[in-house]
Amino acid sequence: MKPLVLIVEDEAPLVTMLRYNLEREGFAVDEATDGEEALLRISERRPDAVLLDWMLPLVSGIEVCRQIRRAPGTRSLPVIMLTARGEENDRIRGLDSGADDYVVKPFSPSELVARLRAVIRRAQPNASENLLQYADLSMDLTAHRVTRSGHSVHLGPTEFRLLYHFLQYPGRVFSREQLLDRVWGQDSDIEMRTVDVHIRRLRKALNVAGGKDLLRTVRSVGYALDAVS
């Protein structure tokens, strides 16, 4: 399958030039002309990399990049910033916002293609680490998707983090204190029974299509992800 590259750029001639060069080099190409459209295209088409212009109407390239990095599903999506600015400060700001690389206009298409291949390659070795599996459960961190026996399981953000934690230590029992510490963070002032509420929600979501209850409650100790009991 051809790697899909999303070009986010409001200058039509540059988009045409980029599309021509990328398609010739074996990439599939998608386009967006502003930041909002870019975020929409990313969630719809799940590109393998994004070429992101700094100067965009509505939402700036920097802000688009920050939003890409903030969302769990796109956190590791490779981003190359395109910009006319060459100042050192701007370069640092671009990389600070989470861009993987930075290309100053005017650039040579072959250099851009080489950098694009490099960021896509760097993003790929982790693909298997992004899939966690246990019994008939599967969590795809890249797509931020959980399935049980192939059926989608819909989880809130906290339940997702809880399950992510359990999937890293299948069979192991965690106390409420440990879960609070590891899932919510040490400095949270959340009450202990909040853990029970989220465990209940997670259990309900996991069992919605029937099947064995995978969350084991260990009385006066805590909880475990356990398919054996």
Binding residues for Ca ion (CB under 5 A)? 10, 53, 55
Nearest distance, CB of residue 199 and Ca ion, angstroms: 48
Nearest distance, CB of residue 9 and Ca ion, angstroms: 6
Nearest distance, CB of residue 25 and Ca ion, angstroms: 22
Nearest distance, CB of residue 10 and Ca ion, angstroms: 5
Considering beta carbons, is residue 55 or 143 the nearer one to Ca ion? 55
Q: Residues 65-96, buried b or exposed e (16+ Cβ, 10 A)?
A: bebbeeeebbebbbbbbbbebeeeebbebbee
Sole residue written with tokens 């965009």: 56
Sheet holding 131-134, edge to edge: 131-134, 137-140, 145-148, 151-153
E-state strands within 21-153:
28-32, 49-53, 79-83, 101-104, 131-134, 137-140, 145-148, 151-153
Considering beta carbons, is residue 55 or 135 the nearer one to Ca ion? 55
Considering beta carbons, is residue 34 or 48 the nearer one to Ca ion? 34
Considering beta carbons, is residue 39 or 215 the nearer one to Ca ion? 39
